[in-house]
A and B are shown apart, each in its own frame.
Chain A
Amino acid sequence: MSELLQQIVNGISLGSIYALIALGYTMIYGILRFINFAHGDVFMVGAFIGYYSAPRIIALMGGNLLMAAPAVLLITMLGCSVLGVAIEKFAYRSLRSRPKLTVLITAIGVSFFLEYGGQLVFGPDPKLFPQLIPSGSIINTEHVVIGTNSIVVIVTALALMMLLRFIVFNTKMGTAMRAVSFDHRVASLMGINIDTIISFTFILGSSLAAAAALLFASVYPSINPLMGIFPGLKAFVAAVLGGIGNLTGAALGGLIIGITETFVSGYISSSFRDAIAFSILILILLFKPSGILGHHEREKV
């Protein structure tokens, strides 16, 4: 029983990280109708921005983690947003009217560019991520250890998701985003600047990926330039599972993937960990391709 509780908490904490990344996939898909394969690598770059900036900021704040962590978060979000907007501007913008396949291949190209460019810039060997969340545990019994970091991860992720919901549903920018995702042409006739909205979407998505990176690296402190591949793919699966284009769905999908994965590696075998998300993806695409909360889109001639 106590082990079950432990697994559930770990699963939710991992799942909320996946959810943050999945939200980025789902928003960009909602606006541009393509999968931004490079999203997982923006996440990776976020972890490295944190790695390089955290020690300096902690020193600047005199070792006060409570002050330093939000500052690192802001800087990482800013860095990733710049990267995300740059990727959109240089790689995707000129391809907007091209066939989907062209954009997909470009996105894969960008993804590999960041991964291998990262190996050149940061070095291929894993690095130890500095501690941003004070160590310790909230519950510590013989069987159950719930660390501060799991709780911080869950609370931060929840807060960011609420903030995102507020931006998308209660601000002018969010209304414009939803209008663009509904119909580009009509939205631009209503005086909405499509380019601005797309850039804004990339800023939101990349910021969430940045936050996810810091949380992920705080739980699994070994970071390397290829670390974005699997969290990225799994978060994508989460987005599809929840119904791509749907914000609540992405969060739900992330939690399901996180919990399933934790259970499989806890109770069956950790060597099947990376295959589990793909198996879920294949099942969902077979039986309900629109995802749990998505709605079916019919193709017309």
Chain B
Amino acid sequence: MRVHKSIIFLASAVTVSFLAMLFENRLNPYYYQIAIYVGINIILASSLNLINGFAGQFSLGHAGFMAVGAYTSAVITTELQIAGNSILYAPIFALALLSGGVVAAIFGLIVGIPSLRLKGDYLAITTLGFGEIIRVIVQNLDFLGGARGFTGIPKISNFFWVFSITAVLIFLIRNLINSTYGKAFLAVRDDEIAAEAVGISSTRVKVIAFVTGAFFAGMAGALYANFVTYINPAQFSFLKSFEIVVMVIIGGMGSILGVILSAILLTILPEALRSVAQYRMVIYSLLLIVIMITRPRGLFVLPRFGKHKILSKSGM
């Protein structure tokens, strides 16, 4: 029954995002932009939640994978655009998005296999290091524009692309977590030694989580690049990774709905508080400390029955 419901959820979410796309021209461009960012941030935060929250591997390099996806898609869409056939836009962009995800996933594999043998602090700093190495490499690649950035990327991302991918990701995480695989994720998170003892290959689980997370971060990067049309390496520094981590922690590591809510909140809030923008990061960091001391499971973690009710009603 659950699979049924979640397929209905997926189909309706994709339909709704398609319908929303038809009307997006009527929306105030500023609100439109914020709505797109909300979608991209939900993808980023939820995919990191898969790694940090469900598999329990604290990664600080998510922006690196986002960068890989963004640059891959930027190159593909810019190169193929020369053919200039508008009918081919959709398949080309689908291809670019997928390649962005796949290349990021390959990077995830390269990064993950050595570093996932490490734990906690070491893993955090190694992934941070990898993220920075990716950024430094991009900075030194001239055909990607180097530090000047990559300009003239066609603007293709819209409501349909952003929110269908968001829906697919949420559908995937939701089903994964209820599957045997997902149970293995949680087992590794809660006690790695005990999980190994019952026959779960913890390395395998961690690598799967990491690669899937990287794949969607790459897609998010591709959506971002094809929305802002200009990217440069500085946009993907570890400050961006930190922002995504904050979304996951405030939402509650391992809470699907909480992370979605906090991604929405933390995208809209800074826009609403533009007048006090210089306090934003100070407030973020204070929030992080206070939440860790008082509510380490996140701001939005609801009582057990409440959570169950809301999720099953919406079919998630």
Please determine whether chains A and B interact with each other in the same assembly. yes
Give A contacts to B, CB under 8 Å.
34-35, 91, 94-95, 98, 100-102, 104-106, 108-113, 115-117, 119-120, 233, 236-237, 240, 269, 271-272, 274-275, 277-279, 281-282, 285-286, 289, 299, 301
**Alpha-carbon gap, A183 to B284, bound state (A):** 35
21 sampled A-B residue pairs with Cβ under 8 A: A35-B125, A91-B289, A102-B296, A104-B58, A104-B120, A105-B249, A106-B288, A108-B242, A108-B288, A111-B285, A112-B285, A113-B286, A113-B289, A233-B128, A237-B129, A272-B136, A274-B132, A275-B133, A278-B133, A282-B130, A285-B115
What are the residues of chain B within 8 A of A271 when measuring CB–CB? 136, 139-140
DSSP class of B's interface residues: helix, strand, loop or mixed? helix
Interfacial chain B residues near A94, Cβ < 8 Å: 293
B124 contacts partner chain A, Cβ-Cβ < 8 Å? yes
- Using A272-B140, A282-B114, A285-B115 as known contacts, say yes or no to A34 and B125 having CB atoms under 8 A apart: no
Which of A35, A115, A279, A289 is within 8 Å of B121, CB to CB? A35
Is B130 a contact of A100 with CB atoms below 8 Å?
no
Q: Are A101 and B58 in contact (CB under 8 A)?
A: yes
A232 to B133, CA, bound (A): 17
Closest A residue to B289 by beta carbon equals A109
Instruction: Give complex CA distance A271, B278 in Å.
Output: 29
The answer, yes or no, to whether B282 is at the interface (CB within 8 Å) is yes
Residues of B within 8 A of A95 (CB): 292-293
Contacts A95-B292, A274-B132, A286-B114; is A240 near B286 (CB within 8 Å)? Answer: no
B94 an interface residue at 8 Å Cβ cutoff? no
Tell me the B47-93 residues at the A interface (CB within 8 Å).
56, 58, 60
| Minimum C-beta distance from B115 to chain A (A) | 7
B279 within 8 A of A: yes
A275/B136 contact (C-beta < 8 A), A91-B289, A120-B282 known: yes
Nearest-CB residue, chain B, relative to A280: B129
Distance between Cα atoms of A219 and B115 in the complex (Å): 35
Pair B140/A100 contact, Cβ less than 8 Å: no
CB distance from A270 to the nearest CB of B (A): 11
Q: Does B193 contact A (CB under 8 A)?
A: yes
From B115, B288, B292, contact of A282 by CB (8 A): B115
